[in-house]
Chains A and B, each alone.
Chain A
């Protein structure tokens, strides 16, 4: 049973527009959420995170929103750039798990010039 779900395998967006990547989770014991970006032939790169006690965290063009009641988080990229084209993984940290993360299957974002 997947505890972290990214239901959209792919997303295509025009350069300059907003990209919204979604993630749903089932375990209410997650206390920290992260987004990673992965280019082909490279390892995942940490992008942005949010604690479960917050509902928003912003870092430059990237903002993560957390809706605990809906068990849903989203990553907004504004404005989108062609260099943002990559696979984005949502990850969740179970409380007390000593660090290991549970990942979704990823969403492939394509930003078209």
Chain B
């Protein structure tokens, strides 16, 4: 158990819909990262937050957004969903300045 908690574990939704994925980082970690893993793809970095502020942005679509709240939990919002958005979405966290990030178990999103 990494200490990073993600909900929901599985989600099935229709095209055009909007979903929210939730993440609680490890106790004491200020940085939260979101990654996407599609079929046959590696882990693609989406976005990073540090203590409530956006720190870095990767290959995140404009239809996607995220935020980190004062209690440090984070949400990833995916809107106008398309079939190609079906993937495993991982949240990870790290201590301030740390190079090692710790992953949650992921949220499996299926868009039908």
Contact = CB atoms under 8 A, between A and B. Distances in A.
Answer yes or no: are A and B bound together in one complex. Answer: yes
Interface in A68-113: 89, 91, 93, 97-106
Contacts of A49: 99-100
A99 B105 contact: no
Contacts, number: 65
Contacts of B90: 43-44
Interface residues of A, number: 24
Contact of B104 (A43, A104, A105): A43
Contact of B103 (A32, A45, A99): A45
Contacts of B105: 41-43
A97 B56 contact: yes
B100 A103 contact: no
Given A45-B2, A49-B99, A98-B56, 5 more contacts: A43-B105, A46-B100, A89-B43, A103-B43, A103-B45
